[in-house]
With several copies, the nearest count.
Chain A
């Protein structure tokens, strides 16, 4: 029943075309060849996202810890990037972007383990019919997302987690939390596959032929991750990256407990200069993250860039002025923290919202995250060292929900794409708020549950095997000397 294909859920699902990731399905040589402009942009976007992790995130976080722990943060982030790199090409890419058979709702399979069948000639689909990019650049681009997500968690238990424990935890976390989440949200067959099936249905006569075509189309639309099928909208990773890492961080800092002297001693950032450098590079790199998620270099890419500019600026100023009013001084840390909050919030919305909607989103994200970090955290009294939860999880939730509203063309949004009605060309489906918000809400809740519960289990396992936390004396001496036998500075 064609109706099924106009059901909001499916439209939402197809809307996921707007998502970060095309399928990894290698196209036959007959398939369209990549446009070199798209390829050039995706190569650059990949470099930009790597720069977000190292040195960007490492410096943003590192500057916020005390001198004696600076080097440990840098080491943790850099090591995670390298670890995930090897895991990704070994089985991560396959687990994320292949059909997982019976488990396909939740995770992919091993058909592309060790990048089997992936070479310089294979391509990956984008969100435009007939437009593809070299699969290897798609693998690299996706890899940088898998690298930075676990690195984000580091901030929650910085200054006290054992390096060996961290290494073990991250290997487990990407395997059991990240790859499945990414599969659930981002795996699908690509526009051409959908179009072909839809065309088949359209051209099919009646009776058997029609039924067969219908079945085929059902199969095609069913060959996607669970949240994708629900129709959650996430342009560049609000759920997979930020909510996912944010909740894992919260669970982590609760399990590890507070740092010695928390609430008593002056645990001031050792170098806001480094934090500002990190924040700036994160902003610059985030254009690769958000605009790159369009997988092409076109007008929508430019829209994502624009949204990534204005939401960030709005959130940065919102935090600055709210803090100025509340505490009497406009701070650099507030300014850059707001910028990150804005970047996080606009991530899922970047290709769906309009510029003005993004400004509103940024203002809200900046103000709410400030309240959370400045008041709620101290009220609840947990020690989320660098506010991974307060900024990434809260900001991610705000963004995920706001996306469902701002995508509305009536609010200047890009609307929800529909690849079925007119097979082969992109049309915008009718907007139904209830349906979209329901899908967004479910996506957020599943992410919180999967990552929250899953991470808790992994922390416990690691605690049993190597122990999560360093000794009191080591914590006092600082992780740099205790864990790594080096000092960040010898002035």
Chain B
């Protein structure tokens, strides 16, 4: 199993969620994060004092999936989250050794 972690633009969340549901992924966890990267931020001015804000609001999605699903998940996310502009985000894939569903105690594949 893998944990697929994607950093995307906030307003893309709904589309990505739908894309994942479409390929049979029915659970995911979302976190509001701030991202720093190539995409340049904006400037805020308060009473003449200028502040360059380089951290931009992003959404982090974590999905645990069985290894075989990974490619389609990656493609699904990529397709749904892309705008073609800098700042679209990244997808990271990490190994997941074990998964447990708290309610039932089911493990691994059954837990997802």
A window 324-364: CB within 8 A of B: 327, 329, 331, 333-334, 337
A441 within 8 A of B: no
A-B contact count (CB 8 A): 46
B47: contacting residue among A264, A265, A333, A481, CB under 8 A: A333
Do A375 and B43 touch (CB < 8 A)?
A: no
B32 to chain A, nearest CB (A): 10
Q: Tell me, in angstroms, the Cα distance from A70 to B78 when the chains sit together.
A: 32
B63 to chain A, nearest CB (A): 21
A269: contacting residue among B46, B48, B53, CB under 8 A: B46
B96 to chain A, nearest CB (A): 30
Residue in chain A with minimal CB distance to B49: A378
Q: Tell me, in angstroms, the Cα distance from A291 to B49 when the chains sit together.
A: 35
Residue in chain B with minimal CB distance to A68: B57
A136 to chain B, nearest CB (A): 34
Q: Tell me, in angstroms, the Cα distance from A486 to B14 when the chains sit together.
A: 21
With known contacts A266-B53, A476-B11, A486–B48 Cβ distance under 8 A: no
Residue in chain B with minimal CB distance to A476: B11
Q: Tell me, in angstroms, the Cα distance from A487 to B49 when the chains sit together.
A: 14
Residue in chain B with minimal CB distance to A261: B11
Residue in chain B with minimal CB distance to A486: B44
Do A373 and B43 touch (CB < 8 A)?
A: no
A410 to chain B, nearest CB (A): 37
B window 1-43: CB within 8 A of A: 11, 14, 42-43
B45: contacting residue among A375, A377, A485, CB under 8 A: A485
Do B42 and A481 touch (CB < 8 A)?
A: yes
A window 12-28: CB within 8 A of B: none
A374 within 8 A of B: yes
B44: contacting residue among A265, A377, A485, CB under 8 A: A485
Do B45 and A337 touch (CB < 8 A)?
A: no
Residue in chain B with minimal CB distance to A490: B44
Residue in chain B with minimal CB distance to A264: B14
A387 within 8 A of B: yes
**Which residues does chain B contribute within 8 Å of A378, judged by CB atoms?**
48-49
A-B pairs, top 5 by smallest CB distance, nearest first, are A374-B48, A266-B51, A373-B47, A327-B45, A485-B45
A and B contact pairs by CB, cutoff 8 A, 19 listed: A261-B11, A266-B51, A268-B46, A269-B46, A327-B45, A327-B50, A329-B45, A333-B46, A337-B47, A370-B48, A374-B47, A374-B48, A378-B48, A387-B47, A476-B11, A481-B42, A481-B44, A485-B42, A487-B44
Please report A residues at the B interface, Cβ cutoff 8 Å. Answer: 261, 264-269, 323, 327, 329, 331, 333-334, 337, 370, 373-375, 377-378, 387, 476, 481, 485-487
